[in-house]
A and B are shown apart, each in its own frame.
Chain A
Amino acid sequence: MTLTVFDLTVSRGGIAVLQGLSFELAPGRALILRGPNGIGKTTLLRTVAGLQPALSGTVTAPEESIAYAAHSDGLKAMLSVEENLHFWARVFGQPKIDIAVQAFELKDLLGRPAGTLSAGQKRRLGLARLLVTGRPIWILDEPTVSLDAQSVARFADAVRRHLAGGGSVLIATHIDLGLDGDVLDVGSFKASGTRSDPNGFDESFL
């Protein structure tokens, strides 16, 4: 269950933003991405998650091992917390939602429509969704936005449990979660914008 990224170049709008990225994420490890806003962390995470193609390089991960979570949680305001979680559990073929409910203390909220939750509660529900996917590699894009200190601690606990259970986490965040993991500053991989292949068809607009 190792995620391997080799010589990856990711692009936004057809223009390379980060290039030459290589790293390996072994089970039980966390990799924390740092870098200023707009550097391309989200683009990198989406590329690794398989949502967009890489300009060059490879991402290798076992089939169906990645769970992705970004700013929006895919929650339906008209459905209850329980229905929302059950839906994602069924999509990922998992029978139970108990662990997720426990980990994020959602028990009292189960019957409430997701639309009536506070921003922090919604976020907790969105992250609880990760637990019901049953997938080992988590890719998290700024997961702690709009969480209070207590919820952040609870979230960090959940991540630690996930790591202890043999999972791994690739996370872009600005705050220190107290995770035991490597830090990767993506700023040093900023694409230079030089012409890489003058005879190539695709980049020869430059």
Chain B
Amino acid sequence: MIALLTRDLKLATRAGGGFGLGLAFFLIVVILVPFSVGPESGLLSDIAPGVLWLGALLACLLSLDRILALDWEDGTLDLVATSPLPLEGVVTIKALAHWLTTGLPMVIAAPLFGLLLNLPQPGYFWLVLSLAIGTPALSVVGTFGAALTVGLKRGGLLLSLLVLPLYVPTLIFGAELARRGADGQATTTPLLMLAGITFGVIALLPFASALVLRVNLR
């Protein structure tokens, strides 16, 4: 398991591994928003939590098809499936590797991007917290989508279509938590809901992902 994780991280950080791709895309979204909605700082700070969450979600979506497709193409998945590793563990590790290379850098970079969008002072803590709690759910749900579409040629568009509605609850509660935090409103409900969704998908969804992966491998 740890071998798989270290290998995935190694692959991601070497040339052509796609590390930083999500972060770059996130940065592009954040930089382009002021050009499209105008430079007025009041407006920007109003929409900052939502834009930052949307940017993180899209950046995550962009890298989903790399989670399993490469291992599928070179036969690694077949070999892993006949190895002692349980597939449930494999998909969990895959999601974790995806989060470490895509979600975590965004969590760390988010305060900087918040500056660009004039995020109100109390918002930084809540933005980082909401992303730290919410982005693992994006990776886990994304791995489920990747497992569903792994055998398909040009499965990328379908993957986005399948994952899009599954991302709605996380996006709503995550962005709401960041927004309420920035506005100084009560944050308990969205915080609990967001954490509940994340823990729920981490606990349950790997079984579904492993199930569909097994179906796709046969």
**Using a CB–CB distance below 8 Å, which chain A residues touch chain B?**
46, 49-53, 64, 66-76, 78-79, 83, 86-88, 90-93, 129, 133
Contact in complex: A51, B217 (CB < 8 Å) = yes
Residues of chain A within 8 A of B79, CB atoms compared: 68-69, 74, 88, 129
Contact in complex: B75, A70 (CB < 8 Å) = yes
Query: Which of chain A's residues has its CB closest to B84's CB?
Result: A64
Contact A52:B17 (CB < 8 A) given known A70-B75, A74-B78, A78-B11: no
Which of A66, A70, A87 is packed against the most chain B CB atoms within 10 Å?
Answer: A87
What is the predominant secondary structure among interface residues of chain A facing chain B?
loop
In the complex, what distance in Å separates the CA atom of A62 from the CA atom of B201? 34
Q: From residue 1 to 28 of chain B, which have CB atoms closer than 8 A to chain A?
A: 2-4, 7, 10-11, 14-17
Contact in complex: A76, B11 (CB < 8 Å) = yes
**Total chain B interface residues with beta-carbon distance under 8 A:** 26
Contact in complex: B74, A75 (CB < 8 Å) = yes
Q: How far is the CB of A132 from chain B (nearest CB, A)?
A: 11
Contact in complex: B3, A91 (CB < 8 Å) = yes
Contact in complex: B74, A68 (CB < 8 Å) = no
Q: Decide if B82 is an interface residue (CB 8 Å cutoff).
A: yes
Q: Decide if B41 is an interface residue (CB 8 Å cutoff).
A: no
What is the predominant secondary structure among interface residues of chain B facing chain A?
helix
Q: Decide if B83 is an interface residue (CB 8 Å cutoff).
A: yes
Partner of B7, one of A51, A71, A72, A87: A87
Query: Which of chain B's residues has its CB closest to A78's CB?
Result: B14
Residues of chain A within 8 A of B85, CB atoms compared: 91
Contact in complex: B78, A51 (CB < 8 Å) = yes
In the complex, what distance in Å separates the CA atom of A93 from the CA atom of B2? 11
Partner of B10, one of A52, A79, A129: A79
Contact in complex: A78, B15 (CB < 8 Å) = yes
Partner of A73, one of B10, B16, B74, B81: B74
Contact in complex: B10, A83 (CB < 8 Å) = yes
Partner of A74, one of B3, B11, B74: B74
| A–B Cβ pairs within 8 angstroms, 26 of them | A46-B218, A51-B81, A51-B82, A51-B218, A53-B218, A64-B84, A69-B79, A72-B78, A73-B74, A74-B74, A74-B77, A74-B78, A78-B10, A78-B11, A78-B14, A78-B17, A79-B7, A79-B11, A79-B14, A87-B3, A91-B3, A91-B4, A91-B83, A91-B84, A92-B83, A93-B84
In the complex, what distance in Å separates the CA atom of A87 from the CA atom of B76? 11
In the complex, what distance in Å separates the CA atom of A75 from the CA atom of B4? 13
Partner of A76, one of B74, B77, B83: B74
Q: Decide if B161 is an interface residue (CB 8 Å cutoff).
A: no
Contact in complex: A92, B84 (CB < 8 Å) = yes
Contact in complex: B84, A66 (CB < 8 Å) = no
Q: Decide if B80 is an interface residue (CB 8 Å cutoff).
A: yes
In the complex, what distance in Å separates the CA atom of A70 from the CA atom of B75? 8
